[in-house]
Amino acid sequence: MKKSEQTHYEWFFYAMSFLGLAKIGCRELINQKYRDKDFLTEDLLYGAEESNSRFLLIPIFFNVKHSLELFIKTVGVNIDGEYRDKHDLDYLLKDLKSRVKNLFKNRNKNEIFQKIEDLKSIVKKYFLYNFLENMNPIRDYNNELFRYPSSKRGINISQELEKFDSTKVGEILNDIKKIHILFISIRGLTNSTKLGHPNPGSWS
C-alpha cells in the first residue's frame, strides 16, 4: 500500500472508529449489558435511571458528529488533495459537493450527488441538533458543544441532554447504521486510486 493510500485508509479508519464506538454506546444503553454504575461516584449519579443515560449520550453524540466531520474531510482530500481546516459540517458538505461537481465528469457524478444528499439529511439533523426535542436549532460551527459542559456561546448542552427521551436511542442507532452504509458507498465512488486521479497531497 502506497503512503498516500495508507494515509487515506487511516483517516477513514478513524472516522469509522468514532462511529463504531457511538454504535456500541447505543447498544449498551438499549441492552444495559455491561453498565457499571460503580464507575460513577455517588455525587455524580442522578436519581432517575433515564438521567443516568446522559453518561453515555455525551460521547455517543460527540462521536457521531466527529465521525461525520472526519469522513467528509477524508473524501475531500481523497478526490483532489485539498484539506479544509474547518469544523462546520454544513460548509464542509456543501464544499464537498462543489468539488465533486468540478472534478467528476463521468456517470458516477449523479450517483455520488445522490449519496451526498442522503448524507446531508443526517448531517443537518446533527449539525442543527434536531435530535434534541424542544430545542431551537443551533449552528455548531466549531463542532464543540459535546466537547465541553458549556460553550463560549453560553449554551449548556448537558442540561439539554437531561431532556432527551432515552427511548429514542434506537433512532440514533438506526442513523448510525445509515451513516455507516453511506460512508462505505461514498468512499467507494470517490476513491481517487480507482478513478485514476492524481495522488492527493499532504493532509497537513
Would you state the pLDDT for residue 21?
95
Q: Taking the C-alpha atoms of 88, 89, 91 and 94 in order, what is their torsion angle to the nearest 10 degrees?
A: 170
How many Cβ atoms from other residues are within 10 Å of residue 69's Cβ?
Answer: 21
Chain centre distance of CA 191: 20
DSSP secondary structure string, 57-118?
HHHHHHHHHHHHHHHHHHHHHHHHS-------HHHHHHHHHHHHHHH--STHHHHHHHHHHH
Q: Which three cell numbers stand for residue 109?
A: 457524478
**Left, alpha or beta for 134 (phi > 0: left; psi -120 to 50: alpha)?**
left
- pTM (2 d.p.): 0.80
pLDDT digits (tens, 9 = 90+) for 54-112: 778 889 999 999 999 999 998 888 877 778 888 888 899 999 988 888 777 665 678 88
Would you state the pLDDT for residue 52?
56
Structural domain spans, the chain:
3-195
Q: Is 33 exposed, middle or buried (0-12, 13-18, 19+ CB in 10 A)?
A: exposed
Would you state the pLDDT for residue 4?
62
Would you state the pLDDT for residue 27?
92
Would you state the pLDDT for residue 5?
63
Tally the residues of the chain. Answer: 204
pLDDT tens across the length of the chain (204 residues) = 444 666 667 888 999 999 999 999 999 888 877 665 555 555 455 544 544 567 788 899 999 999 999 999 988 888 777 788 888 888 999 999 888 887 776 656 788 888 999 999 999 888 888 887 766 667 777 777 777 776 666 677 777 777 777 788 999 999 999 999 999 998 888 774 444 343 333 322
Positive or negative torsion for Cα 57, 159, 142, 181: positive
Positive or negative torsion for Cα 107, 108, 112, 114: positive
